């Protein structure tokens, strides 16, 4: 009696398991009304096969014809309803058209027993043309109503009108004057924000501070619906003012601090003889002198001078709604610019110096930056905060 190896048994079981779901699917999917799944499964099983399995041919025929009848009945109900969504009707027809186009390469479909399946195709071109025309008109009417609200000052409606006008291109290109009206809706929906700065700190801001602070990259902020102007455009009506209010400027005194510390390292320093218990040089089995690495501790005395000075600029970004004449948002802004310089000298063995000490050795004290220079550095620190706050203002605008 022939025996089978465990590998052969495992392979047989794996093939059996792979076959079971498909057999079950083709028997039960139609009964459960899963016609789309039945069609997809049957087409996969029949494509490329010379001898067509009667089970899959029958399943494809039945599922296709049932689904076509269902979709046509659904399209008829939707078309005859009081408030037809013609875009959905058109989408249903498009799905049917794709299904028919996918089936055509298999036709004529004859199973291995000689049975030829009959598929009830529907002429959809005229139906799709009608649905597309009505969907375009439906979107046009809806967008026109939204545009009217946009012309009355409702920017949200204008933005929705822009989106709705553009939906028409899915069904009809260059439909009436939809493209022109979409451009109008886009302009009406855009929000313009003027950005400016005011110094309410009572302190002195160096020349060029405002220009440096407002030299912000706008590519991450401007989009279809928002335009930020850091230099107001004459004649433009601004919806919002984004005002950077500087309320506090502090510059610390120039500080010099000194500290001394010691660096120590245990290092290798040549070799030394190993002595025996009698104080003589120890010998190995061949009579050679035994040596070892000599370890010594080295040290260096370091004197470090630290120069520090800082400037803090703080305030807030105030977003003002010019239409409703009210503040809609205010966020705090704070930036600190710090000057530090280390100058270090040492006495002793250079080999004792740590890596951090080595980086500072040789530096010399330098002239402190002026107050004006540090405040301008604070503007550089403040700029990314400002850009981030403005870019996120869409949550309010």
**Mean pLDDT for the stretch of residues 242-254:** 95
Residue 254 lies in a domain: yes
Confidence of residue 7 (pLDDT cuts 50, 70, 90): low
DSSP calls for 286-338: TSPBPEEEEEEEEEEEEEEEEEEEEEEEEEEEEEEETTTTEEEEEEEEEEEEE
- Find the domain containing 286 and state its range: 250-395
Q: What is the pLDDT of residues 324-351, one digit of tens each?
A: 999 999 999 999 999 999 888 899 998 9
Report pLDDT for 5: 56
pLDDT for 281 equals 86
Is 272 found in the same domain as 139?
no
Q: What is the pLDDT of residue 378?
A: 93
Q: Using alpha carbons, list the distances in angstroms from residue 46 to 50, 94, 241.
A: 9, 24, 67
381 shares a domain with 325: yes
The b/e string for 141-168 (b: 16+ C-beta within 10 A; e otherwise) is eebbebbebbeeebbebbbbbbebbbbb
Does 166 reside within a domain? yes
Instruction: Note whether residue 284 is domain-resident.
Output: yes
The per-residue pLDDT for 10 is: 52
33 and 88 co-located in one domain: yes
Are residue 380 and residue 332 in the same domain, yes or no? yes
d(CA 117, CA 107): 9
Q: Where is pLDDT greater, at 265 or 100? A: 100
The string over 266-276, giving b where at least 16 C-beta atoms fall within 10 Å of a residue's C-beta and e elsewhere, is: eeeeeeeeeee
Interior/surface letters 286-311, b for 16+ CB within 10 angstroms, e for the rest: eeeeeeeeeeeebebebebbbbbbbb
Same domain, 148 and 111: no
User: What average pLDDT does the chain have?
Assistant: 89
Confidence of residue 1 (pLDDT cuts 50, 70, 90): very low
164 and 111 part of one domain: no
């Amino acid at each position: 009696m022939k025996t089978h190896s465990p590998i052969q048994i495992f392979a047989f079981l794996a093939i059996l398991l792979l076959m079971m779901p498909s057999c079950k699917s083709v028997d039960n999917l139609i009964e459960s009304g899963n016609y789309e799944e039945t069609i997809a499964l049957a087409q996969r099983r029949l494509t490329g096969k010379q001898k067509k399995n009667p089970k899959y041919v029958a399943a494809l025929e039945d599922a296709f014809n049932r689904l076509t009848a269902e979709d046509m009945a659904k399209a008829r109900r939707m078309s005859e309803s009081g408030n037809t969504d013609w875009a959905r009707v058109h989408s249903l027809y498009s799905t049917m058209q794709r299904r028919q186009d996918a089936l055509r390469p298999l036709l004529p479909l004859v199973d291995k027993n000689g049975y030829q399946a009959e598929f009830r195709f529907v002429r959809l071109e005229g139906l799709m043309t009608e649905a597309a025309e009505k969907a375009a008109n439906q979107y046009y009417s809806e967008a026109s109503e939204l545009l009217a609200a946009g012309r009355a000052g409702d920017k949200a409606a204008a933005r929705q009108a822009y989106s709705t006008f553009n939906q028409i291109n899915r069904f009809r290109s260059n439909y009436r004057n939809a493209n022109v009206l979409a451009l109008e809706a886009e302009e009406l929906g855009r929000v313009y924000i003027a950005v400016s700065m005011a110094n309410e700190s009572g302190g002195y801001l160096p020349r060029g501070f405002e220009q440096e602070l407002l030299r912000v990259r706008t590519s991450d902020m401007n989009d279809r619906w928002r335009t930020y102007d850091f230099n107001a455009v004459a004649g433009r009506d601004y919806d919002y003012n984004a005002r950077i209010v500087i309320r506090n400027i502090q510059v610390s005194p120039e500080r010099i601090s000194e500290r001394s510390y010691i660096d120590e390292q245990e290092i290798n320093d040549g070799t030394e003889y190993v002595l025996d218990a009698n104080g003589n040089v120890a010998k190995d089995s061949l009579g050679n002198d035994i040596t070892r690495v000599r370890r010594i501790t080295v040290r260096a005395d370091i004197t470090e001078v630290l120069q520090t000075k800082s400037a803090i600029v703080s305030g807030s970004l105030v977003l003002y709604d010019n239409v409703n004449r009210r503040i809609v948002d205010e966020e705090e802004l704070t930036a600190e610019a710090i000057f530090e310089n280390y100058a270090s000298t040492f006495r002793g063995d250079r080999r004792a110096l740590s890596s951090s000490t080595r980086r500072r050795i040789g530096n010399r004290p330098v002239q402190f930056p002026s107050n004006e220079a540090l405040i301008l550095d604070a503007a550089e620190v403040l700029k990314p905060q400002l850009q981030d706050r403005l870019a996120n203002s869409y949550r309010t605008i």
